[in-house]
Structure formats: structure tokens, C-alpha cells
A and B are shown apart, each in its own frame.
Chain A
Amino acid sequence: MSAAEATDTHGHGHGEAEAARQKFSSITRDIAWVAEMPKPPKIWYGLLGVSLLLLGMLVVAVTHLVTTGIGVWGNNNAQGWAWDITNFVFWIGIGHAGTLISAVLYLFRQNWRTSIARSSEAMTIFAVMCAGIFPIIHTGRPWLAWWMIPHPNDMQMWPQFRSPLMWDVFAISTYATTSLLFWYMGMVPDLATFRDRSKSKIKQVIYGIFALGWRGSARQWHRYERAYLILAALSTPLVVSVHSVVSFDFATSQLPGWHTTIFPPYFVAGAIFSGFAMVMTLLVPARYLFNLKHIITDDHIEAMCKITLATGTMVGCAYAIEFFIAWYSGNEFEQFTFINRMLGPYWWAYFIMVSCNLLFPQLFWMRKFRTNPWLIVGVCILVNIGMWFERFVIIVTSLSRAFVPSGWHYFSPTKWDIMTLVGSFGLFFTLFLLFFRYLPVIAMSEVKMVAPEAHAGKDDH
């Protein structure tokens, strides 16, 4: 795909160096403007206020949880996990798009990614932060959750490496670290730009610290490009591994509905699906809000819609295959679990899941739906709801009907469950809104690199 349209420029030609410089500086100006405008739009304040309120709710909910006990949630002796792990998997899934966009698409030279890479990476980091809360607070004694990390101690106690939860600890911490590094490293040239453009002393110092002394020398650019490539290569397997490992939490257990070999690819597809949906949910309004339509163009959005459609359909296939395997296995426990999933007391959750994840994304076959921003946002929000319900269906309905009928139970969330979930959105949006205001939301250097002006005088590349 050509990025020429992306910059939406007019009349330029080879050798017009002045025009190119103007073009580059307009990119810088337009993107930096988001952070430099003297006052952000009123709606930004409004959204930040709401987000902070929700964040406060999260703090209250978690404090109450930690001081009182897991019993404040609806979890019980049948459903050891419920909304807590549902939220965890949901947020981890959201975090997938970032790495995919920054690393995989980078390696595949999908240049359209540049306009959205930074913000989706940021989204990844923030989603992983939200996700990371849950494995810690869902433990009965969160103050001892660090025991899950291998550490030297005088009792020579090690964590249990056979447990998928241990694998999770490594997978998620690796993912979080790599994503953070990738995001931050990619931001260094842009931070330097911000530093240079800053008028206030405080900003200069702060951006200066984080810009790590970037001067834009050819050597620096060379090192930067190499490092970026290496990190992209490192991150690429993580796209597959993180959610595969998360799916092992379920796949390696023996519970019907969890014990399924299809889970790793199914979870990865689902994660990318939900990640892209979340990116669009955030960026489609944001490009209006901060006047970035010429940088994050309709074509970019449309490409993302296509990926959403593809991954959504994959997820739908997985739903069908699960039923086939349940029938094909001849195992009555497995068969019952899936029949119960569809027709049992949680049928409503199942139908929310199927309609949001499989049916609504099919609208993206039609171009009309891929170009209408409001429809896109609508479908993407539905996809996010559907993907949350997918995890809910997998976790809660399977646990509700385990082997022995006397242990069956119908889960009902408490207000604290709801507060924790909604509060986690507060954390996410707070971070995201702050990011939008204070950090380079689009990789200026990269956009410039793929801008046609960057290729002036070149015949090919």
C-alpha cells in the first residue's frame, strides 16, 4: 500500500526539497500540536474526569477486596475464577494488537501501520497494565503474590514450574517488558523532537531526560533502526506466545470446556481481533478529536476493519470446531458442557458472544461499513463486549458445570465485581488520555520515513 495518500498532499514532485521539508515540518507540527495546543479540547477534560472517577472506583474496589477477602466478589467454591480472570484475559487480548501492528506488520513492511503503531503500542502497554492487576489481586493473599516469581530465599522454595500460572508469569512479564521497551525506544526520536520544540523549562528537562540525548545523528539513526528491527523480531513470537500461554491456563486443565487443543490459535486470533477492535474504538474518535484525519486516514481504518473481519471469522470457526470436537470426542462431559453453554442458564452470554464476535463483524464485508466511522466504532464496541463475554463464557460456564453435579453453581457478580471491571477501564482510559496529551501519539519519524517526500530522487527502494 502506498503511503502517498496517507499524507494527503498536493502537487509535489521529485527534487522539491523545500516542499518536502515543509511537508515534514507539517507532519511534526500537526502531531506535536496534540501535545502543544495550549488547551486541549473540552471533551478531553470531560473524558479524563470520568476516567479518573472510574480509576478512583478501582482503587476503592481493590482496597476493599484486599482488606476484606475475595468473598466480596461472586467467586465461589465452584467458580474459583470468574470476572477476575475474565478481565485478565480480556485485557491481555486487547494488548495484542499493539505488538502485532508494531512488530509483525513492521517486518512485513506494511507501511500503513506507522500512523497507528504508536498509539496501539501505548494501548498495549496500558492494557497489559490493566491485565497485570488481576492475577495479583485475584489471589487470596495478594501481599504474597510475589511468591509466584522465582527468587532466592533461605527455604530454597521455588515456584512450581509445571503450573500454567507460572508460565503466565513469565509470558506476561516478558511481553510487558518487551512491549514497553519497544514502545519507548521507538519514541526516543519523537521525544527529542518534543524536547526541542518545548517552550517551558520543565518540559524541556523532562522530555530531555527521556530523549536520552538524541541528536538525530546518522549513527544514532543507524543504531536506532537496527535496534528497532531486532526488537520487532523479538516481539513477533510474543504475539503468538503470550496468548497461547494464557490459553494454557485453560487448555492444560482437565475441565470440560477448558481442556481443548484448539485454544492457543483460537486465543491468539481472538486477541488480535479484540485488540484491533479496541484500537479502532480509540482512534476513530481520536482522529476527529485531535484533527489527525490526514495522518490516520480512512484507508488505515479500512485495513484494520479487514483484519477485524478476518480474525472475527477465525474466532467464529473456532466456536464451530469446539462443538464438532465435543461431538466427535464421544465424551459425555465434553458434550454436555457445550450443549449447556448454548442452551443452559448462560445461553444469553453465549449468544452475546456469538453475535458480537461472529455476526456483527461480517458487516465489514461491505465497504460502506468499513468507511462509516460511527458504524465502525459501534461494531468495534460490540466486538469488545463480545470478546469479554467469550472469556466469561469459557471461564464461568465451564466452571459452573464441572464433573460432579453437586458442585454446580450459577455465578452472580457482586457490585464489587462490576466496580473492578469498570474501574479497570478507568485506569486504561486515564493512561490513554494522558498519553494523548503528553506524548507523541503518532510516530513522527516513521510517518516521515514512509512519506513520499522521504523518497525524493529515488527511483526505487
Chain B
Amino acid sequence: MSSLNRSPDDEAPQVVPVPEHGYWRSMADLERLEAGADVPEDALNEFAGTSADSEVSDPLSRRSFVQVMGASLALAGVAGTGCKRWEKEEIVPLSRRPEDQIPGVPQYYSTAWDFAGFGQSLVATSFEGRPIKLDGNAEHPFARGGSVLGTERHGASTVWAQASILDLYDPDRSRAATRDGGGSTVADFRAWLEAERAQLRSRAARVRVLSEASSSPTLARLRAELAQQLPGLQWVEYEAVSFDNEREGHRLAFGRPVRMLAKLDKARTIVTLDADLFVEHPAALQYSRDWARARRFERSSLGDGQMNRLYAIESTFSSTGAVADHRLPLRSEQLLPFAMALEAKLGAGGGNVDAAFLGEPEVAKHLDAIAEELLDNRGHAVVVAGRRQPAIVHALVARINAAIGAPGATLEYLAEPDSDVPASAQRPTHAQGLARLVKEIEQKQVDYLFIIGGNPVYDAPADLDFAGALAQVKASVHLSLYQDETSKKTTWHVPRAHFLEAWGDVRTFDGTHTLAQPLIQPMFGGVSAIELLQLLLGAEPDGHGAVKATFDELRPSVTWRQAIHDGFVATPVPTVAGLSVGQLPPVQLTETQRAGSRLAQGQLEVVFAPSMQLWDGRFANNAWLQETPDFLTKVTWDNYAMVGPSTAKDLGLKNDTLIKVKVGDKELEVACYTMPGQAPYSIGLVLGGGRTAAGRKGGDGKAKVGFDTGRLRTTAALDVASGATVTGTGKGHALASTQEHWDLRATLYKDVAQWGIASRLDTIVKEVPVAEARKADWRADGKAAYPLTSLWERHDYPADGPDKVRKWGMTIDLGNCTGCNACSVACQAENNVPVVGKSNVMMNREMHWIRIDRYFAGSADNPTVVHQPLGCVHCEAAPCEVVCPVGATLHTSEGLNDMIYNRCVGTRYCLNNCGYRVRRFNFFDYNKEFKEARDKVRNLLFNPEVTVRHRGVMEKCTYCVQRIQNAKIKAKNERREVLDGEVVTACQAACPTEAIVFGDLNDPKSRVSRLQKDKREYALLNNELHTSPRTHHLARVRNPNPKLVGHERSGSH
């Protein structure tokens, strides 16, 4: 079935040996029982199959006999009783311990993931053969992480990478092939493919492959082979959230597709035009780190003390706009005239731009200030346009960058895979490709359609009737993790192997060849994309062989074994130099582009934004991501339309109601969220909701989660549509926001809450302009209103002497937090944090141990934002501890505020007395669903080092105490002290901007103790409560342009 089943040759990588004990077997058997008897064993039961290959065939093998006995006993135990006690399991111990496997000691394997056509290099943590955690690969040359000593295995990662491991154990994943909706097997599919092979060959020109974007070199190689074997076969690539505009823009500017990679660490001035650099961009990790390092206020190993300045001009708030020093909200369509005007101001070309909004004082001032600063910073500045902007804007930006001396200095152009082929052979844009495919189908030119990944029935532009076209194809095949909307319409659905279940390779944004090794056998008999192509080629599926063949072709300087160990092959980045911008086509501005910031109904702009959790909807069934609060709206389990406050007032749209958005002849009712800072008369529609076949979490046709905003997208206006009409419907729709649980209720005096926040905000989040911070006597930590003395002697944590202890502490830098949520999901994965569902989120019962509080300041139409990550701060004088009647929360000798789950009776007094509101109570048994036979597979994801909490107990951040203990044990075994940076908390490891630092405060040289002496340091609420928290925050320092400072509105809310 899978390449893993093959006996590994000598060079075989460090594949996790298949566990031979009974636990796996009974799990698999359970799956089989659940799936029904008509599914043959080999479609589901990989584990038994694996051992069968070698041993069951020998009837005299003692071990196989015991295994079979064990399996049947386990089955008897499972099937025979409805007993709700512990399940009876027969464990057959290994008679010989596999090499490198120590029970209870995790192993780390490098692997990789292809996300929307761009690779991410990862390191997986595996316990006894089950991967439970993903982190970035710190050694990877692109987006490297973990510069801190001893943290090499932890690199930064995106929120999606962190959450993708949940998909692996998703009980809703497809477990068997289907044919015309009925049960079938992968074996049947292979038989069908063999039967059709002659047809496929003879009618190769009528075969199409529709693939999601992929960076895999192996897939590209096999694709070329397939094109040879089936001449005339056409390969179409489609992504609903595509970065093609940039590619097209560069084609327009340079005549060939190239990628732009900004070097934000080298740039003093960064201007983004509708671009989200820190979450959405494929190079987000690299960008986040570079930007953060070039932004540190102090000189340290994390930065050079020279602050860069970031301008964001955008329609909907992005992670970049949220951390920008200056943000100018403009409709997305206005960025074309803005870019033209900027170019003209820079003297790079273009004449007077005729657009009314450019005359508005706010816009004009920003334009002048930006142009001046770009010219002053020639060679140290860069302008980046976002994926939503049309090709022409990217071309203009290329010209602007050339004018300010950016290429080679602050940005590089990298080769695309098809950079050097003739224009006719370059791939069309995703939308064009799909449109052509649909047209061909409608013209009856297509008999066979193989769909690799993706979900075009759900996310194809609405003007293409993809579902209708699909029905006209003679035979269609969908390879997919889930039986999704597309799978339901195709002839065949083939279950896909998760990326942790199959061999693969990817290229990161910079082109580095990165290898993906499997961590586990395909649990549900899935087939990888590479294996499907091999099947199409008529070869035996052998992912390992294919990936190795590609590797050998590259003739790298390292051995295969080394490359698998590292996870990548270090190759020089293929930069393209000497590009010059050619003649650009003349630009005709539309009426609304020339208009001011006010528009009439019927002229409104609609901007489609990928969800920062669900992306284009592919993660809809990922409960972690569904429950991750959006970085600004803090809404979970929904998508919505974002409307600026003044626009909402003008159009009479209310928060938490349904509004009707009409674009062209298509209309949609969607929940309204009044979003401060959303550009006036621009409606931001978040993608990714309204799935009908995502699974039980993300919408399965019965339960609806979010709105199918993609129904308003057309090929002509995929990312930005104008001419929209938006009206209120008066119908309510409550959004589950984790932060504004409170502002919806009627008060007698409506500004009470605002007044309350304003009066305390200065003590909670500290933010200053750089000029203020540079003053010698400035310190973030203010003075307490009364002397901070205690009535009794406080516990001492001596740094020296016989009683010397470690004093764990943390700092969180508000200046670098982009609100990307990677820390929160990383914590969820590491600490088995449960998901509670929408209704419980609405009741303020979300369980995240670290949350990111968001505060707006300034005017509602153009606010500034501060993100404040907050977990338990481990107070030395913890208010929670004294009030617990049973002593279930206590201090360790090292000052960790620990929860003793066994002792907790659940009075919740600690929660009431916590000034930070970081304690989380298990109001229900949130893991109950995993007791169902079908969902049991989800239990495999639990981190065995962390207790799974039962109902009725309190929980909260532990500073990843399990990691602290592991580091201490390791150090003790090696007879040394724990090194600074050796303990890395899960949130810290994930953070792309290195905003979280953890370590020993008793070590004067440790990074964290130095940061806690920094002038930016402040201890949240310590002046008020004298709790002496161990977590300190670092004040955010802004670097505003002095010429624009007058525009920074003071006041906050």
C-alpha cells in the first residue's frame, strides 16, 4: 500500500519503527470495527499488515503467534463488552528494544509540509511512534530559528503548521475510497485504473490533472514523466488564495516570473501596500524574524538597536498593519493610484495622478512623508505589495523599488520554477487555468479528471460552474484528506495520506530543497500525491523511492541519510540579478479609484481576505484553528464581513447581525463585525466558512460554521470586487469573540466600559514613542501608588549558597508580537489544551493557556493596536494559592505556580482571585468525545508528558513544566547546570519574532534576567497587587515619523 511497507534498505532513513505491541493493533482493529465489515482489512489496518509481511507468514514464529493471540484477545475484549471501565488491552511487549527507542523518551525527526504551494520545514516530536508536535526546523537555512543555545531543534512555525498535526488524527478524515459515493477500496481504485489504462493512453489529450499548488520537486519530475507517457495531458494548478498577482506583476515588469524576497533586516523603512508580511505571506516566518530583529530597541543578540519604521497602507487590518508605526486605511482599489502617486513623488516616472482621495490631507501627508523617507533611505528601504493587489501594482512597486535602490540591497528576486521557460510554457494564473479547464470540460474535451488535493467545488470562483462541469467528465478522481465537497461530486474519492504519513519533498519560498519523511504509517490507508502519480504512471507506489530518485538527480554534496537527518539540502538561493523593468501598459483608473474615501451604495468595495485560521477553508475541520481567536477581531468559529465603524454607521450595519452583500448578480448574507481601522466603504470578507462537507467540526451540511463568502468571488474579481451593495437584514447572528464578551449589553450609561478601559489601559499595556523611550530617565514600570512592602516575609529564592535554586521567569516583548497565534496553538498542542466549541466560547469558557489580548487605541477609524500575550505570570505572591481550601495550587521551590490536578476539587476561588484571569476551568469533560470508538484515534495526539485534565479541575499555564523537568534531568545526567536557553517553552519555540524569552532569573547572564532589568520591562499589575509576577512584559516602542506625529491621535479605548 505504502512505500513504508517495503523492507528498508541499508540506507534507509530513521523511519520510526512500527510499534509491534498490541496497542496499535487494537486501535486499528477498532477503526475497522467502526468502519464496517465491508472494508477489507488491508484498506484500513496498516499496522497488522506491516507485521504480517515479515512474521505472520511464518506460522512457526513464536512472536507472531503471540501477536495473533494478543490481537484476537484485544478484539474479543473490545467487541464483546459494552463495559465503560478501562478497556481490556493485551500488551505484547517487544522482546528486543528497537534501536534508539526508549519508551517515554521522545524522538525528533525533520520533515516538511507543502502549504498552498510553499514548503515549510518542520521538526516532529514523536513518542513511541506517534508524532504529537510540530515545530519549525531551526537548522533550515530559510526561516531559521532558535538562535538561543540549546534550542536548535525548535524553530519558529506558523499557526497552521502547529495545528496541522491535529488533521493527522482527525477522526473525520477519509478512511476509505469511495466510488460514486459508495464504499470502495484503494485496491478497487487501482484495479479500475489498470482497466482504464488503455483508454487513458489512447485518449491522453482528454486527460486533465487539476492539482493544488505544489512545490514538490518529485511531483514536478513525475509530472514531466506523466506528460511524456500521456502526451497531450494537461496539468492545471489552482489555489483559491493565490499569490499569482505578484507573479503576473513581475512578468509584466520583467517579462518573466520571479519571486520577490525582501530583506527586512536590512531595511530601515518598510512600506507595505495591502500586504500581510507576517502571517499570510509564504515567507512570513523569515519576514517576522527579520523585521523583529531590525526593530529591537536595545542592542542585543536579538537585534542591533536600530529601529526600523514600518508603514502599512491597506484596506483590512493585517498583522502588518497592526504592528506598523503608521497605518493608513485605504480601499484596496485605491492602492493603484496611491502607488502611481508615490512613484511620481519619487521622481521615478508617471505624471500627475487624478484621484480625489490623494488630495485628502491625511493621505497627502502620508504620501509626502513616505516618499521623502524612501528617498532619504535609498538602499535601505523596501516597498512590498500584497497578494490582493493587481499585477500592475506589483509592476509599479518593482519600478519604485528599482528607483530607491532596493534590488540587491533590501530585496532579491528569486527564480520561479518556470522562470526560464518561454512565455507560452509558463503556467497561467490559477484562475485562468481553472477557467480554461471548465471551458474545456463544457466543450466536451475532457474525459478524465484527476484532482489532487484542493477543493474546487467549494472554492472555485462562483462564475465558473465547476461542480456542474465536473458532472460532465466521464471519470473524475479526487485525492483528498477528507471526503469533502469535491469528493462527493467525483467518480472516485481516494483517501490521501497526511504529510506525516508519506514521503515527500518541498521547496521553501527561497527554493531550498527540503525533504519530508513520514512519521507514521498511513493510519487510514491514504495515498500521497506522489504515490497517486506513480499509480497513474503504472508504477508501484513507492514514495520513498521517488523522493530519493529526485534527490539523487540533484547530485547534492550530502548523503541521503544526512539530508534526511537535516531535513533539507542546503543549496544556494537561485537569485535572478540584472532585472530591469520594461514598459508598463497604460493605466486607466476607474471611477471609484478616482473617487474620494466616501462612496455610494452600489459602489462599495469588497475585499476577500483569507482567514488567518482557516485559510481558504481547508482547515475548517481543525478544531484548534476554529477556536483560535482571530488576531484582531478575536472571533472564533465563524467568518464574517468586516465593516469600518463609520461605514457601519452610514449604512446602518450593526455588529452581530446579518448583512446582505451584493456583488454583481451574486448576493450573500453574512455576519457583520464592525472592525476599527477597516478602510471606509471597503468591506472585508473573510474566506473559509460555510463548508458543507468539512466534517463534524467545520460544517457537514447539518451544522453550519461560518458563511461561504467565496460565493461572491468571480474570476474577474477574485480578491477585490467593486460595485457592491451592502444592506442590513436586521437578523441577529452572534459571533463568539473571546475578548468582547462584554460590550454587547445595554448599560445605563453607555461609556462606562470605555471609561473603565481607558483609565486602566496605561497600567496594563505600555507603549511609547522611541524618542520618549530613549530618554535616560524613562522606565516602563511606573511607580506604585503606595510602597510595595509586605506584611510578612516573602519566600526567598537564593541565587547562591547551599540553598541555591533556579528562578524561572519569562519576558514577552509587546513590541514584536504580531498576534499570529502560533504560541497559542503551540501551547494547545504541547499541553493537551481542549477545545470547547462555539457555545462555550460565547460563555467565556475557552481554555487557551496563553491568549493574546488586543487593545485598540486612537480613533475608531484608524486605531493603533497592541497585542499582549498573556498566560499565567507565575506570581511569587500568588493570590490564587492562598484561597484554595485544599492546597491544590502551590509553589515549587523554583517559584513555579503549579496546579495539582489530582487535589483540585474545583471551588474556582483561585480563578476569582486571579488578577490576570488566566486560570481555566474544566466546566465539562471536554475530552469526552474521544471516548467514542470512532474518535479514539484522537487520543493518540495527546502529549504523554502532560496530564489530560478531567472535568471539574482548574488548569493554566505551567511554564511547560515538563520541558523544564526534562532539561533538568538531562543536565543532571550530564553532571552540569541547565544552560540558559536549554528550556524552551512551547510558545517561545513557536514565536516567529522571538518575542517570548524564558529562563533562569537567578542567572545574571541569562537572557531573561537581562531583559527583566531592561528599561522597557514592566510587571503587569504588580504596582496594584504586589504579586511579583515572574512573567514580565516589555513595553512596546513605536518609531513614528516625526512629521506624521501630529496625526497620531492620543487617547485610547
A positions within 8 Å CB-CB of B: 68-71, 74-81, 138-142, 144-145, 147-148, 157-160, 162-166, 169, 249, 252-255, 330-333, 335-336, 339-340, 342-345, 347, 399-410, 412
Are B745 and A345 neighbours in the complex by a CB distance under 8 Å? yes
Given A140-B906, A340-B752, A404-B870: A159 and B886 interface contact (C-beta under 8 Å) = yes
Contacting residues, chain A, for B764 (C-beta < 8 A): 403-405
Contacting residues, chain B, for A164 (C-beta < 8 A): 883
Are A404 and B853 neighbours in the complex by a CB distance under 8 Å? yes
Contacting residues, chain B, for A399 (C-beta < 8 A): 912
CB of B884 within 8 A of chain A? yes
Q: Which of A169, A253, A345 contacts B883 (CB 8 A)?
A: A253
Complex: A252 Cα to B912 Cα, angstroms? 12
Q: Which of B759, B908, B909 has the most CB of A within 10 A?
A: B908
- 28 CB-based A-B contacts, threshold 8 Å: A69-B925, A70-B921, A70-B923, A76-B843, A78-B844, A80-B909, A80-B911, A80-B912, A81-B908, A138-B907, A140-B907, A141-B952, A147-B903, A160-B882, A160-B886, A160-B887, A163-B885, A165-B883, A165-B909, A253-B883, A339-B756, A399-B912, A401-B756, A403-B1024, A403-B1025, A405-B855, A406-B870, A412-B843
Are A140 and B952 neighbours in the complex by a CB distance under 8 Å? yes
Q: Which segment, of B188-196, B214-222, B736-744, faces chain A?
A: B736-744
Are A69 and B951 neighbours in the complex by a CB distance under 8 Å? yes
Q: Which of A253, A401, A404, A409 has the most CB of B within 10 A?
A: A404
Are B905 and A343 neighbours in the complex by a CB distance under 8 Å? no
Are A159 and B756 neighbours in the complex by a CB distance under 8 Å? no
Contacting residues, chain B, for A80 (C-beta < 8 A): 908-912, 921
Are B885 and A148 neighbours in the complex by a CB distance under 8 Å? yes
Instruction: Give the A-B contact count at a CB cut-off of 8 A.
Output: 203
CB of B776 within 8 A of chain A? no
* With A340-B753, A402-B917 already in contact, 11 other A-B pairs whose C-beta atoms are closer than 8 Å: A80-B912, A141-B951, A166-B885, A254-B1025, A330-B785, A345-B742, A403-B915, A404-B764, A405-B742, A405-B764, A407-B917
Rounded to whole Å, the gap between the CB of B871 and the closest CB of chain A is 12
CB of B755 within 8 A of chain A? yes
Contacting residues, chain B, for A158 (C-beta < 8 A): 887
Contacting residues, chain B, for A144 (C-beta < 8 A): 905
Contacting residues, chain B, for A166 (C-beta < 8 A): 885
Contacting residues, chain A, for B925 (C-beta < 8 A): 69
Are B748 and A343 neighbours in the complex by a CB distance under 8 Å? yes
Contacting residues, chain B, for A412 (C-beta < 8 A): 843
Complex: A322 Cα to B854 Cα, angstroms? 32
Contacting residues, chain A, for B753 (C-beta < 8 A): 340, 344, 405, 408
Rounded to whole Å, the gap between the CB of A159 and the closest CB of chain B is 6
Are B882 and A163 neighbours in the complex by a CB distance under 8 Å? yes
Report the nearest B residue to A148, measured CB to CB.
B885
Are B923 and A76 neighbours in the complex by a CB distance under 8 Å? yes
Complex: A140 Cα to B887 Cα, angstroms? 15
Q: Which of A138, A148, A343 contacts B886 (CB 8 A)?
A: A148
Rounded to whole Å, the gap between the CB of A259 and the closest CB of chain B is 10
Rounded to whole Å, the gap between the CB of B594 and the closest CB of chain A is 42
Complex: A138 Cα to B886 Cα, angstroms? 15
CB of B651 within 8 A of chain A? no
Rounded to whole Å, the gap between the CB of A61 and the closest CB of chain B is 16
Are B884 and A160 neighbours in the complex by a CB distance under 8 Å? yes
Are B905 and A71 neighbours in the complex by a CB distance under 8 Å? no
Complex: A249 Cα to B951 Cα, angstroms? 24
Nearest first, the 5 A-B pairs at minimum CB distance are A140-B906, A140-B952, A407-B917, A71-B923, A80-B908
Are B884 and A342 neighbours in the complex by a CB distance under 8 Å? no
CB of B72 within 8 A of chain A? no
Rounded to whole Å, the gap between the CB of A336 and the closest CB of chain B is 4
Given A344-B752, A345-B747: A78 and B921 interface contact (C-beta under 8 Å) = no
Mask for B835-851, Cβ within 8 A of A = 1, else 0? 00000100111100001
Contacting residues, chain A, for B923 (C-beta < 8 A): 69-71, 75-76
Contacting residues, chain B, for A76 (C-beta < 8 A): 843-845, 923
Complex: A344 Cα to B755 Cα, angstroms? 11
Rounded to whole Å, the gap between the CB of A399 and the closest CB of chain B is 6
Are A403 and B1021 neighbours in the complex by a CB distance under 8 Å? yes
Are B922 and A69 neighbours in the complex by a CB distance under 8 Å? yes
Mask for B893-921, Cβ within 8 A of A = 1, else 0? 00000000001111111111101110111
Rounded to whole Å, the gap between the CB of B436 and the closest CB of chain A is 49
Are B909 and A70 neighbours in the complex by a CB distance under 8 Å? no
Contacting residues, chain B, for A142 (C-beta < 8 A): 905
Complex: A250 Cα to B48 Cα, angstroms? 60
CB of B86 within 8 A of chain A? no
Q: Which of B741, B905, B919, B1021 contacts A139 (CB 8 A)?
A: B905
Complex: A139 Cα to B921 Cα, angstroms? 11
Contacting residues, chain B, for A139 (C-beta < 8 A): 905-907, 952
Contacting residues, chain B, for A162 (C-beta < 8 A): 882-883
Contacting residues, chain A, for B705 (C-beta < 8 A): none
Are B921 and A404 neighbours in the complex by a CB distance under 8 Å? no
Contacting residues, chain A, for B885 (C-beta < 8 A): 148, 159-160, 163, 165-166, 169
Given A81-B908, A140-B908: A333 and B921 interface contact (C-beta under 8 Å) = no
Complex: A399 Cα to B953 Cα, angstroms? 19
CB of B554 within 8 A of chain A? no
Contacting residues, chain A, for B951 (C-beta < 8 A): 69, 140-141
Mask for B810-854, Cβ within 8 A of A = 1, else 0? 000000000000000000000000000000100111100001011
Q: Restricting to B730-777, which residues have a CB under 8 Å from any CB of A?
A: 738-739, 741-742, 744-749, 752-753, 755-757, 759-760, 764
Rounded to whole Å, the gap between the CB of A343 and the closest CB of chain B is 4
Are B919 and A77 neighbours in the complex by a CB distance under 8 Å? yes
Q: Which of A69, A159, A343, A347 contacts B924 (CB 8 A)?
A: A69
Given A147-B886, A336-B756: A406 and B853 interface contact (C-beta under 8 Å) = yes
Are A336 and B755 neighbours in the complex by a CB distance under 8 Å? yes
Complex: A162 Cα to B880 Cα, angstroms? 11
Report the nearest A residue to B908, measured CB to CB.
A80
Given A141-B953, A409-B741: A254 and B915 interface contact (C-beta under 8 Å) = yes
Q: Which of A163, A252, A402 has the most CB of B within 10 A?
A: A163
Are A405 and B886 neighbours in the complex by a CB distance under 8 Å? no
Complex: A405 Cα to B916 Cα, angstroms? 9
Rounded to whole Å, the gap between the CB of A316 and the closest CB of chain B is 20
Complex: A142 Cα to B756 Cα, angstroms? 37
Are A403 and B760 neighbours in the complex by a CB distance under 8 Å? yes
Complex: A450 Cα to B784 Cα, angstroms? 62
Report the nearest B residue to A250, measured CB to CB.
B912
Rounded to whole Å, the gap between the CB of A187 and the closest CB of chain B is 34
Contacting residues, chain A, for B870 (C-beta < 8 A): 404, 406
Are B953 and A255 neighbours in the complex by a CB distance under 8 Å? no
CB of B19 within 8 A of chain A? no
CB of B879 within 8 A of chain A? yes
Report the nearest A residue to B761, measured CB to CB.
A405
Given A344-B752, A405-B760: A410 and B917 interface contact (C-beta under 8 Å) = no
Complex: A345 Cα to B746 Cα, angstroms? 5
Complex: A252 Cα to B922 Cα, angstroms? 25
Are A254 and B879 neighbours in the complex by a CB distance under 8 Å? yes
Contacting residues, chain A, for B954 (C-beta < 8 A): 140
Contacting residues, chain A, for B953 (C-beta < 8 A): 140-141
Are A410 and B906 neighbours in the complex by a CB distance under 8 Å? no
Are B952 and A70 neighbours in the complex by a CB distance under 8 Å? yes
Rounded to whole Å, the gap between the CB of A72 and the closest CB of chain B is 8
Are B924 and A74 neighbours in the complex by a CB distance under 8 Å? no
Rounded to whole Å, the gap between the CB of B869 and the closest CB of chain A is 11
Contacting residues, chain A, for B917 (C-beta < 8 A): 77-78, 402-404, 406-407
Q: Restricting to B847-878, which residues have a CB under 8 Å from any CB of A?
A: 851, 853-855, 870
Complex: A408 Cα to B916 Cα, angstroms? 11
Rounded to whole Å, the gap between the CB of B757 and the closest CB of chain A is 5
Report the nearest B residue to A249, measured CB to CB.
B909
Complex: A138 Cα to B745 Cα, angstroms? 27
Are A77 and B747 neighbours in the complex by a CB distance under 8 Å? no
Q: Which of A142, A157, A406 has the most CB of B within 10 A?
A: A406
Rounded to whole Å, the gap between the CB of A273 and the closest CB of chain B is 25
